[in-house]
Every structure is written in C-alpha cells, then in structure tokens.
C-alpha cells in the first residue's frame, strides 16, 4: 500500500506548457508517473511531451480518467486553478506554486469544506510513493528505494535530506509528503498521520516541522491519546529563530512561546515522539527505533 497516490494514479498537470511545468512533467514521467493531460487556457488541442493539452479542467476530465492534479501556475492565477480542480471533484490537488496571497487561501479553505477534494500545499514539493508515482518536484535520485518509513514535512529540502539519510541506513520510503510552509495550507500533519497509521506498508513515521503554528503539536497530542503503536520521529527546524521574525516560509513566524522550536519539541517528546535535535540524526534515529 501507499497513501494518497500509487501506480494507478493518473495525473493532470495544470500549467504543463510553462517552463516549470514542462521541466517537472518530464521528471515525473521519468519516475514512472502516468500523466494523462495538461491544462493551459488557449492551448487546447496541442500536444506537449506526447500529452494532450486542454483549455479547462472540465474538458480534461471529460476526455481523460485523471484523478489527481498538480499545479504549476503563477501565484496570481494559482487560486483559480485550485478552485477549478475542486469544482470538478479531483481527488488529490497538489499545488507547487509559491507566493499565493493569504486572502486567496482563506477563500480556498472555505470552498474546500464539504468537498471531495484533498489539497496538498501550496508552496510544497508534493507527494511521492517510492517506485510507484511522483506528483511534484522531489528529486528522482533520492527516492529510489521503497520501504516502510513515511515522511511528513513542512520543509521541502529537509524532506529530501531525511529520505537520503534513511536510505543510507538501509531503509526505504513508503510515501513522503511535503505539506508546504505557508500559514494557510490544505491537508494538515494530523490528517496525514491518520493515513500513515492505517497504512500497512508504513511502520515508522518521520515528522519534520517548523516554527510557527501548532500543526505538529496537534498531531503529537492526537497520537498520544490514540495510544499509537507506530514510532514517530520528530524534528522542528528554526531553533535559532527570534520571536516575531519570519524565517523563510510564510508560515514560519513565531507568535507565541508555544510556537518556538524548543517548546514544540518539548511537547512532542512529552507525547511520545522520538525527538532529534539535528536533521543530521534523522536516519540514525530511524535505524535505532526499527532495528
């Protein structure tokens, strides 16, 4: 098993004909992902990389059996692309775009309520199920070995670093998901934890968080109450960040003491999470808890 995507996933690429869309679509195809169509208004009927292009998501759905969309659309138009996918009931929407206005995301979060679609991102690297499918921008070279470790991360770079370390210690990745670092995102850490806990292929979970917000705290408290049997390894980036200062991602801003890296890790450890003080120790920690 895997979560969210697998070898049967059929992907539609919104913004395929742009520079970023073309580059990453090639990489997804090279990984083995099935791309069934692209969407670029005004270019319907054209063919790129052997893939048919449609003017709208509705047109694409009517001509393909696509069930997942990935968005490489500029920030000013990305929210419309997300809303269009929600409207046609795409199961999984992965938005790579960075810099979407907060006001647009508030509107999207409201529109998602009660809908069938699940949004990953925005400002994220996407999701990859090793040896099965990739929907996003993760480097193919890192995710070569299928295994029993799931990764949830708010940081794209640390997702790749953690996966590389885990493989070096002899283990592999079941699914890795970058949820994005913005202040308002789609699927939460807790929701992904639920999926991993029900996934028979995943035996250990790595949770990589950042300063700001309470996503990691909520997930660890929920797991503790659940009497979770799967080990969870946790790390929070931004340990040297001063209070009130944005550090990189739009979501990485400390508003309260509880949102600092140190306080988060204390709470997570209290709730049974195996804490590492440095990302350099993630692979070693996975080895220790699984051996």
Residue 26's pLDDT is what? 98
Strands 92-95 and 68-71: parallel
Q: How far apart are the first and last CA of the chain?
A: 22
Percent of the chain with pLDDT over 90: 87
Going along the chain from its start, the domains and CATH numbers come out as 1-123 (3.40.50.720), 141-291 (3.40.50.261)
Integer Cα distance of 115 and 92 in angstroms: 11
pLDDT band at 258; cut points 50, 70, 90: low
How many CB atoms lie under 10 A from the CB of residue 43?
15
Residue 14's pLDDT is what? 98
Residue 127's pLDDT is what? 98
pLDDT band at 240; cut points 50, 70, 90: low
Q: What is the mean pLDDT of residues 213-235?
A: 92
- pLDDT, tens digit (0-9, with 9 covering 90-100), for 29-80: 999 999 999 999 999 999 999 999 999 999 999 999 999 999 999 999 999 9
pLDDT band at 252; cut points 50, 70, 90: low
pLDDT band at 257; cut points 50, 70, 90: low
pLDDT band at 238; cut points 50, 70, 90: confident
Integer Cα distance of 93 and 40 in angstroms: 16
Q: What is the mean pLDDT of residues 95-108?
A: 96
- pLDDT, tens digit (0-9, with 9 covering 90-100), for 154-208: 999 999 999 999 999 999 999 999 999 898 999 999 999 999 999 999 999 999 9
The encoded tokens of residue 240 equal 């040297």
Q: Is residue 255 scored above 80 in pLDDT?
A: no
Mean pLDDT of the chain: 93
On whether the CB atoms of residues 176 and 205 are closer than 8 A, the answer is no
Strands 34-39 and 10-14: parallel
Q: What is the mean pLDDT of residues 101-105?
A: 95
Tell me the Cα Rg of the chain: 18
Residue 249's pLDDT is what? 54
Q: List residues with catalytic annotation.
A: 249
Residue 229's pLDDT is what? 82
Q: Is residue 228 scored above 80 in pLDDT?
A: no
Residue 132's pLDDT is what? 96
pLDDT band at 2; cut points 50, 70, 90: confident
Residue 239's pLDDT is what? 63
Q: Is residue 248 scored above 80 in pLDDT?
A: no
Buried b or exposed e, range 183-214, using 16+ CB within 10 angstroms: ebbbbbbbebbbbbbebebbbbbbbbbbbbbb
Residue 216's pLDDT is what? 95
SS (H, E, C) the chain: CCCCCCCCCEEEEECCCCHHHHHHHHHHHHHCCEEEEEECCCCCCCEECCEEEECCHHHHHHHCCCCEEEECCCHHHHHHHHHHHHHCCCCEEEECCCCCCHHHHHHHHHHHCCCCCEEECCCCCEEEECCCEEEECCCCCCCCCEEEEEEEECCHHHHHHHHHHHHHCCCCEEEEEECCCCCCCCCCHHHHHHHHHCCCCCCEEEEEEECCCCHHHHHHHHHHHHCCCCCEEEEEECCCCCCCCCCCCCCCCCCCHHHCHHHHHHHHHHCCCEECCCHHHHHHHHHHHHC
Residue 251's pLDDT is what? 53
């Amino acid at each position: 098993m895997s979560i969210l995507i697998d070898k049967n996933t059929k992907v539609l690429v919104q913004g395929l004909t742009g520079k970023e869309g073309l580059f990453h679509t090639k990489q997804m195809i090279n990984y083995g992902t099935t791309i069934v169509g692209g969407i670029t208004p005004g270019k319907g009927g054209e063919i790129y990389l052997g893939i048919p292009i449609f003017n709208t998501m509705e047109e694409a759905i009517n001509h393909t059996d696509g069930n997942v969309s990935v968005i490489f659309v500029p920030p000013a138009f990305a929210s419309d692309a997300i809303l269009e996918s929600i409207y046609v009931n795409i199961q999984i929407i992965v938005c790579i775009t960075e810099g979407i206005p907060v006001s647009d995301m508030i509107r999207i979060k409201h529109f998602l309520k009660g809908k069938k679609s699940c949004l990953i991102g925005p400002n994220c690297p996407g999701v990859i199920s090793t040896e099965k499918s990739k929907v996003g921008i993760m480097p193919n070279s890192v995710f070569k070995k299928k295994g029993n470790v799931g990764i949830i991360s708010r940081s794209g770079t640390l997702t790749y670093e953690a996966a590389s370390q885990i493989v070096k210690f002899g283990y592999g990745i079941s699914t890795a998901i970058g949820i994005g670092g913005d202040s308002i995102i789609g699927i939460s850490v807790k929701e992904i934890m639920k999926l991993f806990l029900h996934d028979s292929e995943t035996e250990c979970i790595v949770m990589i968080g950042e300063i700001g917000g309470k996503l990691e705290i909520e997930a660890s408290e929920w797991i503790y109450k659940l009497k979770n049997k799967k080990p969870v390894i946790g790390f929070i980036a931004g340990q040297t960040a001063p209070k009130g200062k944005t550090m990189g991602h739009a979501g990485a801003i400390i508003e309260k003491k509880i949102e600092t890296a140190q306080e988060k890790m204390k709470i997570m450890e209290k709730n049974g999470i195996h804490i590492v003080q440095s990302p350099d120790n993630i692979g070693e920690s996975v080895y220790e808890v699984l051996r």
